[in-house]
Amino acid sequence: MYYVASALLFVFPALVILGGVYDVTTMTIPNWISVVLVGAFIPVALMLGLSWQDMAVALVLGFAALVIGIALFAFKVLGGGDAKLMAASVIWLGVSGVLPFLAITALAGGALALLLLSARKWGAVLPVVFPEWMKWLLQPKGDIPYGVAIAVGAVFAFPYSQMLLKLS
């Protein structure tokens, strides 16, 4: 059972990376990604021997992240898929991973914004044929696919997660 749970742990980085790829190419993150992450959390946590208290705290943190994400969505700062992916990520990362996750996500989001602003400035004058999704991404007043920053933050904070630390 331990080996199964260990293998299932890597569903988390795989799905957050997939969410980032969806976001950069379509500016949406499918709901099923967040649903699978939340649904898989408790079985994997139980297989790894996470305490009920740790699981409860992780779920409360995830709910708090969702509430904050919904508020940011209401103010058009964050997309709905971004809010759900962030909340699902916080659940998996738990107390030990949430601060590194938030810090790395913020840094990655800032770097992504600067990169896109620069690319949007030069993208209009470059005579290169881009894929359709990239043309849309390089529109001067386009949105920022923050799911990419969330994926970067989640992957780099994953080593600090309670569940991965349980393997040590």
Per-residue pLDDT of the chain (168 residues; tens, 9 = 90+): 667 777 888 899 999 999 999 999 999 999 999 999 999 999 999 988 899 999 999 999 999 999 999 999 999 999 999 999 999 999 999 999 999 999 999 999 999 999 988 888 876 555 566 677 777 777 777 889 999 999 999 999 999 998 888 876
Residue 124: its pLDDT value, please? 59
In terms of Cβ atoms closer than 10 Å to its own Cβ (0-12, 13-18, 19+), residue 16 is buried
Query: Taking the domains of the chain in order of start, what are their residue ranges?
Result: 2-166
Which runs of consecutive H residues, i.e. helices, occur in the chain?
A: 2-9, 11-26, 31-48, 52-74, 80-123, 132-137, 147-157, 162-166
Residue 164: its pLDDT value, please? 87
Stated pTM of the model = 0.92
Q: Which tokens belong to 118?
A: 């620069």
Contact 154, 98 (CB under 8 A): no
Residue 125: its pLDDT value, please? 57
CA-CA-CA-CA torsion sign (115, 76, 87, 40): negative
136-157 burial string, b = 16+ CB within 10 Å, else e?
Answer: ebbeeeeebbbbbbbbbbbbbb
